[in-house]
């Protein structure tokens, strides 16, 4: 006798990889280990939204982060003022709610997991209107410093990724401890296992790296890294005994500039948007990056040394402080200082290994399995 699979709806918005990546990781785990009982359904909350609203919410977010960080930070701060935050949630709700309602009615999920704060109000309102008794939990994808818009509905249950954020929720947001569930950060579980040396050599050979040279990888998110050209010119203009590689993501201007620089510095490795970040991070010894949570956790779990050159106030502040205050890597906004920092790390083995030991002490691991199993066990009473 066959049993109908339970549907678990995982809701996200494409406002950066930080929301989609954990949803995908949970879906992949559930399919792999409980696929006979559970059908994970990934849903983009803006699927049916008109192109203007989709463009404002998705592309506007990414564009401001990449091109006008100061204005993004201003909007971030402005939305901490409750009337503004509630107004923007209401506006987004207007575009998001019809499609979410349609999908919840069609899919009749057994569980719902929310990965973006703009999806909280529509989901909770829809369930109340339809009188559906479905367990819901919100995964707060900012691990250390989260925007107040995550916490507008105090009746929710939360998955959080640090004791620091749990304490903030209890002390500042007055959320009962029973509604807060702390897990390691959700990340693809392959990052727990570095590639063997033989495979690293194979990846190096395939991509034209010199086998016995140290590698500095410059990588941001999907939209590249801020000040990418300046970083490359500083590194390439210095006499460093390293190979430099850059991932430009979807930033076509940076990609074009990097290819021009490659003509002058043939050892420079240039990549556009790629699907083998895991392999490239394994090749790297030092990673120059900004402070997105997923990227930082991937670097640290592979025990590479991050040099953080930028972060978004206040959203990524906690990520930077986690790296800096635990001496897991270096925070330095002055790009002119990068060559000396890289030189010191490459030439001083004790210093380099000191950072590695600090990373190892953190005992970082993926929370994917624990979160997925918690969601499976979740009902309307546990928290």
Tell me, what DSSP letter sits at residue 249? T
Render pLDDT for 316-333 as a digit per residue (tens, 0 to 9): 999 999 999 999 999 999
Instruction: Pick 380 or 194 by higher pLDDT.
Output: 194
pLDDT value of residue 383 = 46
- The share of the chain scoring above pLDDT 90, in percent, equals 75
Token digits of residue 317: 């502040």
What pLDDT score does 92 carry?
Answer: 82
The ranges assigned to domains in the chain are 6-186+367-377, 190-362
Please report the pLDDT score of residue 85 as a whole number.
Answer: 74
Same fold, 6-186+367-377 and 190-362: yes
What local confidence, expressed as pLDDT, does residue 51 receive? 73
Q: What is the pLDDT of residues 349-360, one digit of tens each?
A: 999 999 999 999
pLDDT of residue 57: 66
Burial (CB < 10 A; 0-12, 13-18, 19+), residue 113, is buried
pLDDT tens digits, 224-270: 888 999 999 999 999 899 999 999 988 899 999 999 999 999 999 99
Task: Say if residue 300 is exposed, middle or buried (CB neighbours under 10 Å; 0-12, 13-18, 19+).
Answer: buried
CA distance 333 to 72: 18
Phi–psi pair at 104, nearest 5 degrees: -65, -40
Domain 190-362: homologous superfamily in CATH: Glycogen Phosphorylase B; (3.40.50.2000)
Structural fold of domain 6-186+367-377: Rossmann fold (3.40.50)
1 has a pLDDT exceeding 50:
no
The model carries a pTM of 0.90
For helices 228-237 and 252-264, give the axis angle rounded to 10 degrees.
10
Least confident of 73-87, 195-209, 246-260, 304-318: 73-87
Q: For the residues 73-77, what does the mean pLDDT come to?
A: 67
Give the model's pLDDT for residue 112.
98
């Amino acid at each position: 006798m066959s049993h109908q699979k339970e549907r678990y709806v995982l809701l996200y918005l494409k406002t950066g990889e930080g929301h989609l990546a954990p949803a995908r990781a949970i879906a992949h785990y559930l399919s792999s280990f409980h696929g006979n009982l559970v059908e994970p359904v990934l849903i983009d909350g803006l699927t049916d939204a008109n192109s203007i609203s989709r463009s404002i919410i998705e592309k506007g977010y990414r564009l401001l982060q990449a091109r006008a960080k100061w204005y993004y930070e201003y909007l971030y701060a402005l939305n901490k003022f409750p009337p503004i935050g509630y107004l923007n949630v209401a506006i987004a709700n207007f575009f998001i709610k019809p499609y979410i309602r349609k999908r919840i009615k069609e899919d009749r999920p057994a569980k719902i997991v929310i990965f973006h704060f703009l999806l909280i109000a529509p989901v909770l309102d829809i369930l109340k209107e339809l009188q559906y008794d479905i367990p819901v939990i919100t995964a707060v994808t900012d691990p250390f410093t989260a925007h107040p818009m995550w916490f507008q509905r105090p009746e929710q249950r939360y998955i959080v990724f640090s004791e620091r954020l749990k304490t903030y929720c209890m002390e500042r947001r007055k959320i009962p401890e029973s509604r807060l569930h702390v897990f390691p950060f959700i990340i693809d579980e392959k990052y727990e296992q570095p590639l063997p040396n033989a495979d690293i050599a194979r990846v190096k050979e395939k991509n034209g790296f010199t086998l016995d040279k140290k590698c500095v990888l410059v990588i941001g998110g999907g939209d590249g890294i801020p000040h990418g050209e300046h970083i490359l010119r500083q590194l390439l203009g210095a006499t460093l005994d390293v190979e430099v590689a850059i991932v430009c993501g979807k930033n076509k201007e940076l990609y074009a500039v990097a290819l021009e620089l490659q003509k002058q510095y043939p050892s420079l490795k240039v990549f556009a948007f790629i699907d083998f970040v895991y392999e490239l991070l394994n090749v790297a010894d030092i990673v120059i990056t900004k402070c997105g949570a997923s990227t930082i956790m991937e670097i640290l779990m592979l025990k590479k040394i991050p040099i953080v050159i930028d972060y978004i106030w206040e959203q990524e502040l906690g990520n930077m402080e986690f790296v800096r205050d635990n001496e897991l890597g270096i925070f330095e906004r002055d790009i002119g200082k990068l060559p000396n920092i890289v030189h010191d790390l490459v030439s001083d083995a004790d210093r380099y290994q000191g950072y590695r030991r600090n990373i190892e002490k953190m005992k970082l691991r993926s929370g994917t399995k624990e979160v997925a199993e918690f969601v499976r066990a979740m009902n309307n009473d546990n928290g």
